[in-house]
Amino acid sequence: MTISISTEEFKAIWQESIEKGEIKEYRSKTETITPFPPYLGTGFWREIELRNGLTVLIQDYCYHQKIIEIDKVESSSQLVSSFYLKGGYTSTVDNLFLSREVTPKNNQLFLIKDTIEKDEIPANKPILAIKLIIDKEFLNHLCFESNHPLFQHLERWRKDQEIEPFLYNCQTSAHLETLLKQIIDCPYQGCLAQMYLESKIMDLLRLQFEQILTLEIEQKLSFNRDDIERIYQAKNILINNYKDPPSLINLARQVGLNDYKLKKGFLHCFQMTVFGYLRHYRLLEAQRLIKDYNYNIAGVASQVGYKSLGSFSSAFKAEFGVSPKQYQKQSSL
């Protein structure tokens, strides 16, 4: 059975469930957690208010039946950055695109208005999503100097000038996945949680904006199937030699590419630089060694190729939000 429901009807069902005592909403100064209406499914939505003009919405839910949700968007005063860690659905927005598949493999940055959005969400398929709701106020401290269409859109929008709706569809890299999981597993509460989440979210937006800005360059630099195979070969060489990796020039020679194409190829395939990927892999391996084997921190640092314990600890904390020692304590609980 398929249920067709408007956004307004959905909100009414949610409010009725609260009033009847079927679900209980939790509120604090900075966040609201609302369980899903039992009539529709299971799970919850968690809304966290951060700095002025920035709200995080974490959606963790599962519908009992297939849902077609129809949202009539008359005007939009918010920019949305959307990421999925689990599940997916098909979305259609009139006058913008026919349909798109929303999955953990991709993420979107969009602003829509004066249209109708229709989402077809399957039954019994858990969905876990993080959405950043961005008001104009949040953009006021940013300087848009680039002539890229995205920045031109945002500059006009924050000045209340007329703009066309837009949607950018990006790939979700391993680095983005790590940031998303860190947001879900935030180890802090209160003001420390706000500071932690803001830092991770700024990284999310930076990586998403960076990918949008490089799309135009990457589209001009074509990659055929042979190029892609060579880029993945280079990735495997890095992984197999992550403790003592080759130089960029040497790596490019090993796979038969020039260093420029290899660098652009890594951005195209993995949304990371060559040695950004190496750093990310080393730290993931270090995290695994600490969690699964409880090795001492100095030994782990050496084993993944770091000569300096201080450099390793700084890199680990920048990547995962906690020091190696703190992570070791959390993993042993």
Q: What pLDDT, in 10s, does the model give residues 24-79?
A: 999 998 899 999 999 899 999 999 999 888 999 999 999 999 999 988 877 666 79
pLDDT for 309 equals: 93
* Residue 288 Cα to chain centre, angstroms: 22
Could you give the strand order of the β-sheet that contains 115-121, starting from the edge strand earlier in sequence? Answer: 2-6, 66-73, 115-121, 89-93, 97-102
Does 302 lie in the same domain as 279?
A: yes
| E strand or H helix that includes residue 191 | helix 190-220
Q: Is 300 left (phi over 0), alpha (psi -120 to 50) or beta?
A: alpha
- Looking at the structure of the chain, the number of domains it has is 2
Q: How far apart are CA 27 and CA 34, in angstroms?
A: 9
pLDDT for 107 equals: 92
Does 269 lie in the same domain as 198?
A: no
Which is nearest to 48 in space by CA: 163, 190, 160?
Answer: 190
Strands 26-27 and 2-6: unpaired
pLDDT for 174 equals: 85
In the predicted structure, residue 219 carries a pLDDT above the cut 60: no
Does 206 lie in the same domain as 156?
A: yes
pLDDT for 95 equals: 58
Q: Count CB-CB contacts under 10 A for residue 33.
A: 15
Does 186 lie in the same domain as 236?
A: no
User: Which one of 188, 218, 248 terminates a domain?
Assistant: 218
Residue 134 contacts residue 81 (beta carbons within 8 Å): yes
Q: What pLDDT, in 10s, does the model give residues 257-277?
A: 999 889 888 887 776 789 888
For the chain, the distance separating the N- and C-terminal CA atoms, rounded to the nearest angstrom, is 44
Confidence of residue 317 (pLDDT cuts 50, 70, 90): confident
Q: What pLDDT, in 10s, does the model give residues 158-188?
A: 888 887 778 888 889 888 999 999 999 998 8
Residue 258's SS3 state is coil
Q: What pLDDT, in 10s, does the model give residues 82-118?
A: 999 999 888 887 656 556 778 898 899 988 877 788 8
Question: Domain limits at 87?
Answer: 2-218
Does 94 lie in the same domain as 51?
A: yes
Does 211 lie in the same domain as 71?
A: yes
Residue 277 contacts residue 238 (beta carbons within 8 Å): yes
Confidence of residue 220 (pLDDT cuts 50, 70, 90): low
Which is nearest to 167 in space by CA: 222, 119, 220, 98?
Answer: 98
Q: How far apart are CA 3 and CA 193, in angstroms?
A: 38
Does 152 lie in the same domain as 74?
A: yes
Q: Count CB-CB contacts under 10 A for residue 159.
A: 9
Does 69 lie in the same domain as 125?
A: yes
pLDDT for 13 equals: 93
pTM over 0.95: no
Dihedrals φ, ψ of 302, to 5°?
-65, -40
Per-chain mean pLDDT for the chain: 87
CATH number at residue 280: 1.10.10.60
